[in-house]
Amino acid sequence: MTRPAAIEDPLAPWVRFAKRADTANLILLCFHHAGGGASTYRQWPGPLGKAGIDVWPVQLPGRESRFLEPLESDLAALTATLADVVGAELAGRPYAVYGHSAGAYVACAFALRMIASRSHAPAHVFVGASRPPSRPDPDSPIHLLPRERLLHKLRSYGGLPEELSAFPEMIEMALDITRGDLRLIETASWPAEPWLACPVTAVGGVDDGTVPPAVLPRWRDITTGPFAHRPLPGGHFLTPRSEELLIEVIRDALG
């Protein structure tokens, strides 16, 4: 008996862990932090799917299932490819984007590309734990920091657990991927004027010392549309509780 050929996913390898439903009202594309991967959002399709929101976690090259691929170094080229692949599958359907930390910049760049190349603006842009372009990190460009300073910086974000020190090769791998992701966003340029007209919501931890809550309201500068700022408990990275609250924020804003 001949086994039927597998149906190739047109979103592969760019989107993982999605549970696509034809009945979804909206698609939410999620962009991971520097050094992270699509697995960050693997639990989101369940709770948001119940609200009619399809979650598409984006997987950039150079990590997890795409570990053997080179890291991207040009944000414009990356988002052009993403707009081609994802844009074809969106087919005019409503969508929103969420990006965490460095992923906020990738999310915004993707939205810009979709507007420019396909005249397909997002319904909402969510940015989390990220400084707005008008308020860069004092240590920027972080990707050019020497190894020890970069390591210290990443530990201040809470992104490198101390127990990882027992595995030097994993530390070096994490540094290389994170440095590459930071290069991707820190070498990009942004319009001086607001480039969006859709609602924007900025979220961040009240105890995040690397992205002070006071800078988050400046994300309003990127849009002429409505703006909201929602503080979350915790620091730079999501805890189970802050993740639960963030999902509520997204569900309520898109409902």
Query: What does the pLDDT look like over 93-133, one tens digit per residue?
Result: 999 999 999 999 999 999 999 999 999 999 999 999 999 99
Say which amino acid occupies 22: D
- Per-residue confidence (pLDDT) for residue 1, from 0 to 100: 41
Helix (H) or strand (E) holding 180: helix 168-186
Q: Which of 175, 130, 131 is nearest to 149 (CA)?
A: 175
Report which secondary-structure segment, H or E, holds 145. none
Radius of gyration of the chain (CA): 18
Residue 55: beta bridge partners?
Answer: 28
pLDDT (tens digit, 9 = 90+) per residue, 165-206?
A: 778 898 999 999 999 999 999 999 999 899 999 999 999 999
Identity of the residue numbered 234: G
Token pair listed for 54? 């399809």
Tell me which residue has tokens 């390898």: 13
Task: Give pLDDT tens digits for 164-176.
Answer: 777 889 899 999 9
The predicted structure's pLDDT at residue 7: 59
Q: How far is CA 70 from CA 10, 62, 74, 204, in A?
A: 21, 5, 12, 30
* Residue 172 Cα to chain centre, angstroms: 23
With cut-offs at 50, 70 and 90, classify the pLDDT of residue 160. confident
Identify the burial level of 12 via C-beta atoms within 10 angstroms of its C-beta, where 0-12 means exposed, 13-18 middle and 19 or more buried. Answer: exposed
Helix 168-186 crosses helix 102-118 at what angle (to 10 degrees)? 40
**144, 179 in Cβ contact below 8 A?**
no
Which of the residues are catalytic? Answer: 101
| pLDDT tens, residue by residue, 59-68 | 999 999 999 9
pLDDT of the residue at 19: 85
Residue pair 71/61 in contact (Cβ under 8 Å)? The answer is yes
**Cα 82 to the center of its chain, rounded Å:** 13
Question: Three-state secondary structure along 15-56?
Answer: ECCCCCCCCCCEEEEEECCCCCCHHHHCCCHHHHHCCCEEEE
